[in-house]
Amino acid sequence: MSEFDYRQKAWSAGLIVLFFLAWELFCLMTGMSDLVLPRPSQVFTTLFEKFPILWPHILQTLATTMIGFVLGVGLGVVLGAIIGVSKTAYDTAYPLLVGFSSIPKVAVVPIFVLWFGSGTVPAVLTALSICFFPIVVNIATGLATTEPELEDVLKALGASKLDILWNVGLPRTMPFFFASLKVAVSYAFVGAVLSETVASNRGIGNVMMTASSNFNVPLVFAGLFVLAGLGVALYVIFSLIEGRVTGWATRKNDVITT
Amino acid sequence: MMRMQPHSEFAGTPVPAAAAPIAIELSEASVTFGRGARAVPALSTTSLRIADGEFVALVGPSGCGKSTILRLVSGLVQPSSGVVIVGGREVAARAMRVGMAFQNPTMLPWMSIERNIMLPLKIVEPFRSQFRKLRKTEFRDKANALLEQVGLKGFGNRYPWQLSGGMLQRANLCRALIHEPRMLLLDEPFGALDQFTREELWSILQELWIAHKPTVLLVTHDLREAAFLGSRICVMSARPGRILDDSRVDFVRPRTVAMTFEPEFVALNQKLRAFIVDARTAATKGAA
């Protein structure tokens, strides 16, 4: 890692600290009531004090997110593979997929609640339905952009469609796939919290909803901080996995010449 | 069945009736893409017979159907009429054990050069069933032996993005040869390379051919390349293509780049060039 990277990181951390300091000072100077906007110090104190109560809800939210995410990835990979391999399937299914993905998912939650009652199931389904689309698009794009010459070389050897998919199509899709994973995991998280907020008695979304109806504003903000932290953590984890698995796709300027 | 033309006196004798077994035979084969009003004829009725172990260069104006002939032979395209027989069998949907190389080397970026070259062994029997067992030993040695023959010794562990265009094209030749194909189909393999790299690769390809004696069908735009490498040159007309001239090239082997500047060689080049100029003019007049 170069000196430049370290300096970049220092600046990023500095900006975050500066943001909280400015917030704190703004509240102190204007004498803002903590019923409207609590100071970050209050929020962190609440977070620390209420952590034992928050913990099961954090686990709940993480669990629904991950279950929805895993199911969404499964569905996304299958659909993406199907429409990526066949041009006809791509053209046929794409309008429907776009239509489905452009529905605001908050509008779908009441339907899930109607079918499955409030709680974990609608949260998982919302997470799933919001996160599978970027995966479908990326898998399909990766498969559809396989070089025709290479396909010809392999077909001339007698390779079946499955051989080509396994040896060329799927590996070349990996950078697209992992790039979409980190987007999808954030989406899944948004979906899970959304559903918990609307219809659940567990999860961080529900904690925030309850706290806000009790005017416990610092707790609302504590919930928000937890969500931000979890969202960043999930994103970072999948970015790291992406870097490890598909390092070949990020080229280095290291060309040998004859 | 050979479509014999009267203008074959320039480069030695006309093609004699083949003594070696026939490797490739196109009889009255034609290819049309699309249907009805939008049909595009790619290849006029063409007959061509290539003996086992021959090195045939196909030249002609661009878009004349040279690549279509390659795709016919490899089984990637079916003839609209006529028959294509390769290795004594009619080309059907299932393909032959051919090696192919295109202008674009298409190495897979996530595999080392060695593993890229071994890719055909994962697909073609009998190597396919042995792949799990042998890939670390015999197959690797095989890949490295080929790499050494093309001057890429020690580059097996590198990744494609670490190699220059010329080096990738050498690796591409290795990939086309790893499964010991009896037939090598090359579609302008050196088209994107500079003059010097190209001449170097001509010699390498010639050595590989002398060593393994596969039947080679080379599509090229470069007349010097055709005359340097081919034991026989077929000149094609503009689209829809047909074979205008078919003649043997009898320069001794191994040929050297210096030979390409000798009068006989230059004369052959000029003759070939005249054919293609005529074909192009005829095509423009036909279109006007």
Model pTM? 0.71
Give residue A150's pLDDT band: very low, low, confident or very high (50, 70, 90): confident
Q: Is B104 on the interface with A (CB under 8 A)?
A: yes
Would strands B183-187 and B98-102 be described as parallel, antiparallel, or unpaired?
Answer: parallel
The whole-number pLDDT of residue A2 equals 61
Range of the domain at A182: 72-246
**Distance between B250 CA and the closest CA of chain A, angstroms:** 31
Residue B236's DSSP bridge partners are: B243
Of B96, B97, B100, the CB nearest to A153: B100
Is residue B103 a part of any domain in this protein? no
- Does B128 lie in the same domain as B37? no
B214 near A CB under 8 A? no
A78 touches chain B (CB under 8 A): no
Element (H, E) at A138: helix A120-144
**B107–chain A nearest CA distance, Å:** 8
CB contact under 8 A, A171 and B108: yes
Closest CA to A165 of A141, A146, A193: A146
Is A244 part of the contact surface with chain B (CB cutoff 8 Å)?
no
Choosing among B97, B161, B177, which should be mutated to test the A contact, i.e. which has the most A CBs within 10 A?
B161
Distance from the Cα of B4 to chain A's closest Cα (Å) equals 30
Distance from CA of B286 to the nearest CA of A (A): 32
Domain of residue B139: give its range. Answer: 110-180
The answer to whether A146 touches A139, Cβ cutoff 8 Å, is: no
Q: Is the pLDDT of residue B262 over 70?
A: yes
CA B67 – CA B288 distance, rounded (Å): 26
Check CB contact under 8 Å for A248 and B109. Answer: yes
**Is A251 in contact with B161 (Cβ distance < 8 A)?**
yes
Query: Do B90 and B200 reside in the same domain of the chain?
Result: yes
Query: For residue B39, is it within any domain?
Result: yes
Closest Cα in chain B, distance from residue A206 (Å): 45
Is residue A4 within 8 angstroms of chain B, CB to CB? no
Q: What is the CATH number of the domain that holds B201?
A: 3.40.50.300
Is B247 found in the same domain as B119? no
What tens digit of pLDDT does each residue of B90-125 get? 665 445 578 888 888 888 888 899 999 998 888 887
In a domain, B102, yes or no: no
The average pLDDT across A57-63 equals: 92
- Please indicate whether, in this complex, the C-beta atoms of A149 and B106 are within 8 angstroms of each other: yes
Out of B75, B110, B162, name the one closest to residue A254 (CB). B162
- Ramachandran assignment for B155, one of left (phi > 0), alpha (psi -120 to 50 degrees), beta (any other): alpha
Q: What is the DSSP string of A167-223?
A: IIIHHHHHHHHHHHHHHHHHHHHHHHHHHHHHS-SSSHHHHHHHHHHTT-HHHHHHH
Same domain for B21 and B153 = no
B241 DSSP assignment: B
Q: Does B175 touch chain A (CB under 8 A)?
A: yes
Domain total in chain A: 1
Indicate whether B272 belongs to any domain. yes
For residue range B137-164, list pLDDT tens digits in order.
Answer: 888 888 888 898 888 888 989 999 889 8
CA–CA separation, B133 vs A246, rounded Å?
27
Do B141 and B218 belong to one domain? no
Same domain membership, residue B201 and residue B176: no
Closest residue, chain A, to B108 (C-alpha): A168
User: Of B92 and A122, which is predicted with more confidence?
Assistant: A122
Residue A43 burial (CB < 10 Å; 0-12/13-18/19+)? buried
Task: Give the per-residue SS3 of A20-85.
Answer: HHHHHHHHHHHCCCCCCCCCHHHHHHHHHHCHHHHHHHHHHHHHHHHHHHHHHHHHHHHHHHHHHH
Per-residue pLDDT for A210 more than 50?
yes
CB contact B124 to A (< 8 Å): yes
* % of chain B exceeding 70 in pLDDT: 89
> Collapsing DSSP states into helix, strand and coil, what is residue B187?
strand
Which of A153, A155, A164, A178 should we substitute to test contact with B (largest number of B Cβ atoms within 10 Å)? Answer: A153
* Residue B200 sits in the same domain as residue B157: no
Contact A154 B119 (CB under 8 A): yes
Cβ atoms B47, B15 nearer than 8 A: no
Q: B159, B180, B201: which is the final residue of a domain?
A: B180
Q: Is position A43 within any domain?
A: no
Asked whether the beta carbons of residue A152 and residue B185 sit closer than 8 angstroms, the reply is no
Region of A47 on the Ramachandran plot (φ > 0 left; ψ -120 to 50 alpha; else beta): alpha
Check if A168 contacts B (Cβ < 8 Å). yes
Q: Are B214 and B184 in contact (CB under 8 A)?
A: yes
Nearest CA in chain B to A158: B95
Is A156 in contact with B158 (Cβ distance < 8 A)?
no
Residue A254 lies in a domain: no
Query: Which CATH number goes with the domain that contains A201?
Result: 1.10.3720.10
Predicted confidence at residue B13, as pLDDT, reads 46
Q: pLDDT tens-digit profile of B231-254?
A: 999 998 877 777 888 888 888 888
- Within this chain, do residues B280 and B191 fall inside the same structural domain, yes or no? yes
pLDDT of B105 reads 86
* Chain B: residue whose CA lies nearest to A171: B110
Q: Does residue A226 lie within any of the structural domains?
A: yes
The CA distance from A177 to the nearest CA of chain B, in Å, is 15
d(CA B113, CA B155): 7
Pick from B94, B122, B162: CB nearest A167: B122
Cβ atoms of B73 and B183 within 8 Å: the answer is yes
β-bridge mates for residue A186, sequence order: none
CA–CA separation, B213 vs B229, rounded Å? Answer: 13
In a domain, A191, yes or no: yes
Question: Can you tell me the distance from the alpha carbon of A107 to that of A100, in angstroms, rounded to the nearest whole number?
Answer: 12
Cα angle, residue A186 at apex, residues A84 and A5 outer, rounded to 5°: 100
Are A156 and B104 an interchain contact pair (Cβ–Cβ within 8 Å)?
no
Chosen domain end from B180, B207, B225: B180
Of B180, B199, B217, the position where a domain reaches its end is B180
- Interface-testing mutation among B118, B119, B175, B199, with chain A (most A C-beta atoms within 10 A): B119
Q: What is the dihedral of CA A37, A40, A44, A46, to 10 degrees?
A: -20
Residue A98 lies in a domain: yes
Q: Which three-class secondary structure state does DSSP give residue B240?
A: coil
How confident is the model at residue A6, as a pLDDT? 85
Q: Which of A152, A167, A256 sits opposite B100 (nearest CB)?
A: A152
CB distance B165 to B192 below 8 Å: yes
**B2 located within any domain:** no
Same-domain check for residues B90 and B117? no
Could you tell me the strand order of the sheet in which B98-102 lies? Answer: B98-102, B183-187, B215-219, B55-59, B232-236, B243-248
pLDDT digits (tens, 9 = 90+) for B5-24: 444 444 444 455 546 788 88
- Stretch A22-44: mean pLDDT, rounded? 90
